[in-house]
Chains A and B, each alone.
Chain A
């Protein structure tokens, strides 16, 4: 597949594949956006390298995707922006269905904290070394991960404790 990479992105791809040869999987483009797929085990070093050496100083977003496949079911995507080079790209890792666990990058960007909590809350991907690892939208007592594909649209009846709607009657 032909890639149309800008100079900055070409440089990013070259440097990444050079310095993290064993983690680098592939790079592809879709509707003008660039996605770089890497192995999850080295993610903290890769992110630190991107931030400190290649000036991707702004972490725009982290989100999860449920691919609903037997292999590498979950994806975690990091949206990185370089304000100096006016460039952005997406760093992707894939995680297995059983025990999706990876390292937290809160040491690199403090802002990753809530975003990783959201991924955990919605998909059940766990992050090691996170300073405040809790659910973010759903209550802690909730036992499901709503954005997984097997979770029904209408929710699971009785899964969430609701206040008494007629408080006077108790």
Chain B
């Protein structure tokens, strides 16, 4: 048999060197399997390029699969199609200016991203946050988690074949968008958190809407459970599919629900509590199977826990200011800006120079985003701009796990597995 190289068979037009190296890497992966490479008279072998415009890949994810019939022999993931260089942008912006960019990182749960950046800046610059702001942030983060998990649920079930489900989860997400609209004035990219607190207090309308949602949503969740838990098609498509064994999960660096579905109860809300998570009760759902069904159960239970946390936050919500009253550390309130000269000067100074952490300080702070550990490392050089800002994004790490999970699966399960891992490319590509 004259075995031609992959590189020669596939003719690439753009970024020739990039494509060639990628094909080469696919050919080199697990070189031991190459021994099986016998004569292939039925031509069952092919290389399938999936993405970056594939609708089931949740964004611009590109997969290169080497198939043998319907079996994926090996897979490579190519990311970077949404690389915008936000870390470079961050080095040229003040901390507050950079915050709207974090909305566009994990665009399915902008609130968690805002809070992650703000908590990191507060840690490095030693800013006190008022009690009420902590609770408002927790409510926002948990709503964002539900919103993100609802999108995952809709798309994952749609990938498994049930399109109508997508519409039901989006009906619930619509309610969340309305709540966010009332909280911060934006439906999608909220940018509600501020360094030193949040932008504005919850209005009575917003509070009433959150209460309604918390009362109604458990019934919806129950309906979702009723539809899927004993559904044979859903069960068969997800059980023992995309298995990530507990012993591999840490090794390959999985995080968030993907890690918890493989048996590790690693949740930052419990591991190193931030905001006021140490004052509320909640469970960390885990499963041992590590397959797609386990991830489904973990995320569904997480939504239950989120509702529980929001209920407790609403009960405990203390009265008081929502932003620290120190003009050197946070924006003054709009009342002050409009009616006093000092307020206006402070507002200008915050916009122009921003908050200046001590020179040479370094910090890392992470929050538990819906996808996993979302951390910000900041190094300051004493000015209003960070010297280095590194985002530790959960999707990036989970995608790396995906590359190994796909080996040996069926090609039809690819989209289901991607749905189960729930990556967001805006975050993975930075």
Contacts and interface: CB of A to CB of B under 8 A. Distances in A.
Interface of A: 30-33, 35, 57-61, 63, 65-66, 77, 79, 83, 86, 88, 90, 109-111, 113-115, 118, 122, 132, 134-141, 146-147, 151, 153, 161, 163
Nearest to B22: A134
Contacts of A109: 251, 253
B400 A132 contact: no
B123 A141 contact: no
Nearest to A58: B250
Contacts of A35: 362
B397 interface: yes
B92 interface: yes
Interface string B256-292: 0000000010100001100000000000000000000
Contacts of A115: 253
Main SS at interface, chain B = mixed
Interface in B1-29: 14-18, 20-22, 25, 28-29
Top 7 closest pairs, chain A to chain B, by CB? A111-B253, A137-B80, A139-B18, A140-B18, A139-B15, A137-B83, A31-B363
B373 interface: yes
Contacts of A134: 21-22, 25
B163 interface: no
Residue of B14, B92, B250 most packed against chain A (CB within 10 A)? B250
Interface of B: 14-18, 20-22, 25, 28-29, 79-80, 83, 85, 87-89, 92, 123-124, 126, 250-253, 264, 266, 271-272, 360-364, 373, 375, 377, 379, 388, 390, 392, 396-397, 399-401, 404, 429-430
Contacts, number: 110
B287 to A, nearest CB: 17
B429 A137 contact: yes
Contacts of B429: 137
Contacts of B375: 60-61, 79
Nearest to B89: A153
Contact of A132 (B28, B83, B124, B264): B28
Contact of B360 (A30, A57, A132, A163): A30
